[in-house]
Amino acid sequence: MAPARQLLVNFMSVTMPTAQAAGHSWFSHLKETLTLGIPLIGAQLAQQGINATDIFILGQLSALDLAAAVLATQYYFTIFIFGMGLAIAVMPMVAQAYGRGDEVAVRRSMRMGMWASIIYGALALPLFFWSEPILLALGQEPDVAAKAAQYLHIVGIALFPALLFQVLRSLVSATGRARVVLWVSLLTLVVNAVVAYALVLGGFGMPQIGIRGAAIATFVGQAFGFLYLVAYIGRDAMLARYELFVRFWKPDWQALKEVVLLGLPIGISVLAEVSMFTVSSVLMGQIGAIPLAAHGIVLQLASIAFMVPLGLSQAGTVRVGMFHGAGDRENVIRASVTVMAIAICFAVASGLTFALAPVPLVSLFMDTGLPNAPEVLAYAVPLVFVAALFQLLDGGQATMNGLLRGLKDTRVPMFLVLIAYWVVGLPLAWLLAFPFGLEGVGIWVGFMLGLGTAAVMLALRFRHLLRAGAASV
């Protein structure tokens, strides 16, 4: 790891702290980052596993069900991820307040984070109820849009517990209890898988209701996860003292304003990236059902791999936020370098895995005995090769975003990613896919270039803040 660390240090061009700055050696930073990051990575993988499970189970039915599931989950995730910006905003607020020992600020941030999530969920419900005409207006095939809407009409209700869960995990993670987040996420995955198997495929003697069963399973799983964290926080003596639900009805307008002002840029930034992939599904749908099904499988693979840098970015947000809140600039730098080095190592490893084993990876997500399986497999393999390089660039931008959020820097990164994704990535994807005739490969290459642009610009922004002393108090 030493060469990677030195490369990152040179890039940032800042004066590094002494070997044992504030009691935190390089080894202690590595250990603490992994202690926090691994459970968060596991939690993200478990969360992603919920969607992957639904797609896997529905893929056992037909190519139509698979295509509808891909479209529906992307639609849901686009709406969810914008609201998640409000939940993500709570993480640096709680981390910084916890770092300086401000119990009142922790409570205010958490309560208003939940308020903001509930309000957003209520405003988003019409998008689920009117999903079929929206999908048809986006050029989707009528039979695919109709099936996707069956899922979305139900899963919209799951948005509430899903967002509230994300808010509560901010407190649990910032206070050093990330393992709890991991375990409850794994339990949620199991609950979702069992219910999906029962209702989608008719397991355990239950009625087989297809894609609607997957939606019910998602709601049950998300509700379980939220209620579990509520119970855990209430039982834990240290967490219970924050009294999150005492006088929950009472507004705190200043804290709500801070959550919204910090969270909206995060939500827009994340939405800019996720909507880019939603658009990719729309573009693939215009090519045909087979390309859409293949795209969905490769997207699931890339999404699963992306959970590692995403978990690391959350760990980076917490650790940078804690040191920033404590006024410890030296350890802000050390924490940042450590997270980036780990992220680079993983991105290289995952990219090599994708490049060396495309067929086995794709085969995991479909029944190879289905009539259209050979066509889907043939279309998906070239996309996997593009996704191999994709890992490094996507992981880079995610990690840099997490570090910037730890400094509560969200507005400028928002504009940077909007330029990268929608001015660079999307036009290039369309241009390469249709005028140049590269179809699915062109879409993936275009979006990869957009992510690469974002990674470079965010890294330059972080470098600027460090050199300007933005991490000092």
Least confident of 19-23, 134-138, 182-186: 19-23
Q: 158 with 141: CB under 8 angstroms?
A: no
CA distances 362 to 303, 353, 396, Å, are: 13, 12, 24
Task: Give the number of other Cβ atoms within 10 Å of residue 297's Cβ.
Answer: 27
Is residue 51 scored above 50 in pLDDT?
yes
pLDDT band at 7 (very low <50, low <70, confident <90, very high): very low
Is residue 296 scored above 70 in pLDDT?
yes
270: CB partners within 8 A, 6+ apart: 81, 82, 84, 85, 88
Domain boundaries, the chain: 34-467
Mean pLDDT along residues 158-179 = 86
Is residue 322 scored above 50 in pLDDT?
yes
Q: Which pLDDT belongs to residue 471?
A: 39
Average confidence score pLDDT of the chain: 83
The candidate with the shortest Cα–Cα distance to 165, out of 215, 121, 124, is: 121
Which two three-digit tokens encode residue 263?
Answer: 């969270």
Q: Which pLDDT belongs to residue 407?
A: 86
The candidate with the shortest Cα–Cα distance to 393, out of 438, 436, 457, is: 457
What is the percent of the chain with per-residue pLDDT over 90, rounded to a whole number? 25
Residue 367 CA, chain-centre distance (Å), reads 27
Most confident of 10-24, 358-372, 406-420: 406-420
The candidate with the shortest Cα–Cα distance to 37, out of 331, 402, 392, is: 402
CA distances 213 to 157, 192, 193, 425, Å, are: 14, 10, 11, 35
Q: 155 with 72: CB under 8 angstroms?
A: yes
Is residue 301 scored above 90 in pLDDT?
no
pLDDT digits (tens, 9 = 90+) for 72-89: 887 888 888 888 888 878
CA distance 19 to 5: 14
Which two three-digit tokens encode residue 277?
Answer: 């992939």
Most confident of 93-102, 239-248, 348-357: 348-357
Which two three-digit tokens encode residue 258?
Answer: 């801070």
Task: Give the number of other Cβ atoms within 10 Å of residue 442's Cβ.
Answer: 21
CA distance 282 to 288: 10
CA distance 12 to 4: 13
The candidate with the shortest Cα–Cα distance to 271, out of 460, 445, 424, 417, is: 417
Better-predicted residue by pLDDT, 325 or 182: 182
Q: Which pLDDT belongs to residue 60?
A: 74
- DSSP for 383-437, please give it: HHHHHHHHHHHHHHHHHHHHHHHHTT--HHHHHHHHIIIIIIIHHHHHHHHTTS-
Mean pLDDT along residues 266-283 = 80
Q: Which pLDDT belongs to residue 469?
A: 65
Q: 8 with 333: CB under 8 angstroms?
A: no
Is residue 334 scored above 50 in pLDDT?
yes
Least confident of 27-36, 61-70, 215-224: 61-70
CA angle 306, 271, 393 (to 5 degrees): 35
Q: Which pLDDT belongs to residue 15?
A: 36
pLDDT band at 56 (very low <50, low <70, confident <90, very high): confident
Is residue 397 scored above 50 in pLDDT?
yes
Which two three-digit tokens encode residue 397?
Answer: 């931008």
Q: Which pLDDT belongs to residue 317?
A: 86
Q: Which pLDDT belongs to residue 310?
A: 84
Residue 271 CA, chain-centre distance (Å), reads 10
15: CB partners within 8 A, 6+ apart: none
Least confident of 227-241, 339-353, 365-379, 428-442: 365-379
Q: Which pLDDT belongs to residue 23?
A: 52
Q: Which pLDDT belongs to residue 457?
A: 95
The model's pTM: 0.74
Q: 212 with 150: CB under 8 angstroms?
A: yes
Mean pLDDT along residues 220-236 = 92
161: CB partners within 8 A, 6+ apart: 219, 222, 223, 225, 226, 227
CA distance 230 to 451: 36
Size of the chain, expressed as the number of residues it contains: 473
Q: Which pLDDT belongs to residue 2?
A: 41
The candidate with the shortest Cα–Cα distance to 196, out of 178, 172, 213, is: 213
